[in-house]
Amino acid sequence: MGGVGAAALAASASAKGLGAQKTGELHPFGFVIHGGAGTIERSRMTPERERAYREKLSEALLAGHEVLKKGGGCLDAVVAAIILLEDSPLFNAGKGAVFTNAGTNELDSSIMEGRTLKAGAVAGLKRIKNPILLARAVMEQSPHVMMTGEGAETFAVQKGFELVDPKYFYTEERWQQLQKAKEAEKSPPPKQSRLEKELRAYDEHKYGTVGAVALDRAGNIGAGTSTGGMTNKRFGRVGDSPIIGAGTYADNETCGVSCTGDGEYFIRASVAHEVSARMRYAGEAIERAAAGALEKAEKLGGTGGLIALDRRGNFAMPFNTSGMYRGVVGPDGKPRVSIYKD
């Protein structure tokens, strides 16, 4: 089987997702990415903005594909794509990260290698341009899995990372989102329908977390996630993205996963690990496992989505919001990007 068609991708990426698709059988390497889930609707999108998202997601898919095609490692592909998305102001990661209540940007990221179950994570960074690189350094160059705040930045300097001026992360759009969120906080919400709640959450938080999962030619799976978290967060709040098993997970025997959405619920439902556990212990196929794991968060009240890729190149991209920026590329090298449910 060759690469999947756009229609197949859309089908597999629906809220409940039906029928896993294959990214290829001969050399089953594949690459999937997301750029956040939320209330993303055609009616609220300008053609220019949509084009910009599609272009950047395609570029990120191709960056990962380029690595995998040449026989490069899954983590190199994950990092190549996530750096591009972190550097783009379109996404809530790196440049373009949302603001905290204090008017700062605090970045979280994690990465995991499915062959060794090694992992690295960082949280609450204020001066690291590409948090995914530091997460990888924590994994590969320290005995630890997770570092936070100033300690993580001290480690970064020791490893040769440059610290950027926190102003680097400023974007006017995210700043205005913070002002709106603060305004909205002043008036408590009336009783809301699910959609209203979702719209409000989107307006307040503006999802846009990024993530990638790669299956390389050696059959290894790697996954990574990077985010600015939630607009208006305070008290050093940390979401699911840097938590191994919640926002990110990879195991060569099952799959790789990267999540996006209301972090608190994804933590409580251990969503990323749940996908892997369902495959391992219940023998579920990736599509079912991914939908089931998301449902677990949904039952608690969480909205969002995830991308998952198994060792054969089957993938699933369920989400329970109106949209999720997402894409897949298989051995044919043709990036397929989707945004909306249909």
Interatomic CA distance for residues 33 and 114, integer angstroms: 17
Which residues lie closer than 8 Å to 342 by C-beta, 6 or more apart?
10
Given CA atoms 169, 172, 176, 182 in this order, what sign does their dihedral have?
A: positive
In whole angstroms, how close is the CB of 30 to ligand ASP at the nearest point? 22
Can you tell me which of 113, 240, 284, 310 binds ligand ASP, judged by CB under 6 A? 240
Cα distances (Å, whole numbers) of residue 125 to 59, 76, 244: 26, 22, 17
Per CB under 6 A, 230 contacts ligand ASP: yes
Which of the stretches 83-91, 122-130, 234-242, 322-330 binds ligand ASP when contact is defined by CB under 6 A? 234-242
Can you tell me which of 12, 110, 241, 254 binds ligand ASP, judged by CB under 6 A? 241
Q: How many residues bind ligand ASP (CB under 6 A)?
A: 14
Neighbours of 237 (CB within 10 A): 17
Which of the stretches 7-15, 44-52, 180-188, 260-268 binds ligand ASP when contact is defined by CB under 6 A? 260-268
Backbone phi, then psi, for 213, in 5-degree steps? -135, 130
Per CB under 6 A, 245 contacts ligand ASP: no
Give the active site residue among 209, 225, 227, 231. Answer: 209
Show the tokens assigned to 59.
């570029």
In whole angstroms, how close is the CB of 38 to ligand ASP at the nearest point? 7
**34-53 binders of ligand ASP (CB under 6 A):** 36
Given a contact cutoff of 8 angstroms between Cβ atoms, the answer to whether 36 and 306 are in contact is: no
Q: Three-state SS for 65?
A: helix
In whole angstroms, how close is the CB of 260 to ligand ASP at the nearest point? 3
Question: Residue written as tokens 């709640």?
Answer: 197
Interatomic CA distance for residues 105 and 21, integer angstroms: 37
Which of the stretches 23-31, 127-135, 182-190, 255-263 binds ligand ASP when contact is defined by CB under 6 A? 255-263
Per CB under 6 A, 229 contacts ligand ASP: yes
209 an active-site residue? yes
**CB burial string 175-208: b at 16+ within 10 A, e below:** eebbeebeeeeeeeeeeeeeeeebbebbebbbbb
Which of the stretches 123-131, 148-156, 233-241, 325-333 binds ligand ASP when contact is defined by CB under 6 A? 233-241
Which residues lie closer than 8 Å to 198 by C-beta, 6 or more apart?
38, 39, 303, 321, 322
**7-36 binders of ligand ASP (CB under 6 A):** 36
Interatomic CA distance for residues 3 and 276, integer angstroms: 24
By rule CB under 6 A, what string of x and - marks binding of each residue 118-157 to ligand ASP? ----------------------------------------
Q: Three-state SS for 39?
A: coil
**169-208 binders of ligand ASP (CB under 6 A):** 207
Per CB under 6 A, 224 contacts ligand ASP: no
Can you tell me which of 227, 254, 258, 320 binds ligand ASP, judged by CB under 6 A? 227
Reported as type and span, the H/E element at residue 328 is strand 323-329
In terms of CB distance, is 21 or 39 closer to ligand ASP?
39
Q: Three-state SS for 148?
A: strand
In terms of CB distance, is 99 or 207 closer to ligand ASP?
207
Can you give the binding site for ligand ASP, defined by CB under 6 A? 36, 92, 207, 209, 227, 229-230, 239-241, 260-261, 263, 304
Catalytic residues: 209
